[in-house]
Amino acid sequence: MKILIPAAFAGLFALQACNNDNTSTSETKTHTDTSMSNTTSSDHSKMNDMNNDLMNAMKPSMAQAEAMKMTGDFDYDFASMMIHHHQGAIDMSQVELSKGSDAQVKGWAQKIIDAQKAEITQLQQFISSNKPAEMKNEGGEQHNEMHEIQKKMEKDMNDMTMTGNVDKDFVMMMKAHHQSAVSMAENELSHGKKYEMKKMAQKIIEDQNKEIKEFNDWLANHK
């Protein structure tokens, strides 16, 4: 009996120690899993914040463009719509300048701001010196191509898979933004009558197609 009792106590202590080890391991795993979960949640939150910054920057101009009533004078409507469109590009570029890190992309953002502010001034001058002409379009309906182009751009951006990298997301979104500007400018060439606006439309097509190619090259190297 004197031998069995210590042996029993030894077995009890060993069992308790094993339970303590298991509890410690379980607590450590739970803590690690929780920490990883919190980290992942934090990372997703940061990604969403960056995505939202870019999208939110464009929302005011998109809302104004969507609310714009067409006059039927394509030159006047093109100028009005392009002001809102350019402002969206400027606002999004400001986000890239403040939160981006790629020097080339930030350079594009600054170039967009400078060029499109200058064009907004020209567009505003055109609007202030030209009243919309009363025009009768085919079937008595106004042209709504620009509204449709605007809606397609918004859908394309909403369908994008964002990466959380503000530089890459900016380039993807600006590519879609430029494509819609080119489409609107092509419509101006087809339907517009004023030389001044048609000339600006041609410049927009050339400049933004060039930048779209640069965006595609950059994206191909940043997969």
The larger pLDDT score, comparing residue 152 to residue 49, is at 152
DSSP annotation string for the chain: -TTHHHHHHHHHHHHHHHHHHHHHHHHHHHHHHHHHHHHHHHHHHHHHHHHHHHHHHHHHHHHHHHHPPP-S-HHHHHHHHHHHHHHHHHHHHHHHHHH---HHHHHHHHHHHHHHHHHHHHHHHHHHH-PPP----GGGPPP-HHHHHHHHHHHHHHTS---S-HHHHHHHHHHHHHHHHHHHHHHHHHH---HHHHHHHHHHHHHHHHHHHHHHHHHHT--
Residue 185 pLDDT > 90: yes
Contacts of 93 (CB under 8 A, 6+ apart): 108, 109, 110, 112, 113, 170, 174
Confidence of residue 12 (pLDDT cuts 50, 70, 90): very low
Whether 170 contacts 186, CB under 8 Å? no
The larger pLDDT score, comparing residue 142 to residue 42, is at 142
Q: CA nearest 166: which of 58, 40, 59, 51? A: 51
Best-predicted range by mean pLDDT among 17-21, 24-28, 53-57?
53-57
Confidence of residue 110 (pLDDT cuts 50, 70, 90): very high
The larger pLDDT score, comparing residue 134 to residue 221, is at 221
pLDDT in tens, 36-69: 444 344 444 443 444 578 888 888 887 888 888 8
The Cα 177–Cα 204 span in angstroms is 12
- The two structure tokens encoding residue 134: 């009363």
pLDDT in tens, 71-100: 889 999 999 999 999 999 999 999 999 999
The Cα 104–Cα 101 span in angstroms is 9
Among 10-19, 89-98, 160-169, 207-216, the range scoring the smallest mean pLDDT is 10-19
Residue 223 pLDDT > 70: yes
User: Which pLDDT does position 202 carry in this prediction?
Assistant: 98
User: Which pLDDT does position 222 carry in this prediction?
Assistant: 93
- Residue ranges and CATH numbers for the domains of the chain are 45-220 (1.20.1260.10)
Residue 102 pLDDT > 80: yes
Give me the chain's average pLDDT, please. Answer: 80
User: Which pLDDT does position 21 carry in this prediction?
Assistant: 52
